[in-house]
Structure formats: structure tokens, C-alpha cells
Chain A
């Protein structure tokens, strides 16, 4: 069975600082990994995904994530936070069963 753990339900950074949101997964088969962002009262927007190939994945809005199989991690980073990055972020894993399992979410706060 697969699972996703997001470390830290809340992360607060200053504008311009590095953003690091942590995600660890568990899967018995090669996973597809995703990061989604959700703004209040909106659906989920795909930031980036890892399927196969290059382990460093670049997404929208300057975000990127690195798939590290040995650490079963898929942490999300952005070099410089903007106020507009404040939102809820979800890490997710999907395997051949086609169900996507979501982490509990991390709320990112950006301070001016």
C-alpha cells in the first residue's frame, strides 16, 4: 500500500527566503509523485509531477522537486518565496492502481 507523509502542517518563511516543503512516500512499486497547490475555495492546481526519467523536476511558478528513491522523498523547493506563494500544498503519490493518495497538506505562510 502506498502512503504520503508531509512533514509540518504549517511552514512560515519570509518573502525572498528559500521555501522547502517536505514529503516522504511509501510505495511498493515505482510511484508517480505530484505536488499540488490549493488556494482558498479553489480546486487543486498541479505544480509538478515525477513519472520517470530525470529526478529533478521543474514546475510552474519557479518550484522544483527532486525524487530521491533512496530516501523515499520528494521535497518541494523554491529559491525565493513570493507573497503569492501563500497557499496549501499537497504532495501525492499514484501507482498502477490509479488511485492517488494525498498527504495531509502543508500550509505555507509568507511574511513580508
Chain B
């Protein structure tokens, strides 16, 4: 149980385009979803926390207009990287938690490469 699916696993795009990443909880209702960014050989950096039906809470230094997060249902959250630039290239990971919000289940991650 507690499976989180993240899609796509890898995306390459041109500078200036927008990219959408989906995160789905397959067998539980995700009260809260989290989006992380991971730079090479580093730990996970929390970008934002989203609760179903409400606006996401962004961490300090994360641009809200750059990284649009939508949590429209209890099983789906999306992260849209708008007007992507090469510096946005990174590994993005989502996670979801159910009734116990202290326990997170992670997606497999998305490798974004912006040319």
C-alpha cells in the first residue's frame, strides 16, 4: 500500500517553455502533498506543501509564480515549472501523506533538463 506515482520520470524541454509534473497517490487519499527539489549529490530541499483544495505554502526563496502547484483532488497534485530556464534543471520529487501527516510516501522523481 501507500504508492505514489510521479510522471513523467524524465523531461527535456526548451528554455522558455512550461513543464507540468504530476504526482498521484494510487491507493490512499493524500491530505497533504509535498514538492522537493534535489541538486546533484545533495539532500532534498522542500519547495512547497499543498493541502487539497487550498493554496500551497511555499518555502522561503521559492518563487510562487515560477513553480505553480495545484492540489485539485485528494489523489493528485501538479507542479508546473513556468518559463523554464537552464537553472531550473534539477531532480524534482513529490511525496504524499495521508491521515498521519508525519509519514510521507515518495514518488520516483522527475529529472528535468532545460536546454
Binding site for B on A (CB under 8 A): 32, 34, 36, 41-46, 49, 51, 90, 94-96, 98-100, 102-105
Contact = CB atoms under 8 A, between A and B. Distances in A.
Interface residues of B, number: 23
A105 B44 CA distance: 9
Contact of A102 (B6, B44, B97, B111): B44
Contacts of B44: 44, 90, 102
Given A102-B44, A105-B43, A32 B102 contact: yes
A34 B109 CA distance: 19
Given A41-B91, A43-B93, A105-B42, A100 B109 contact: no
A31 B32 CA distance: 19
B114 to A, nearest CB: 17
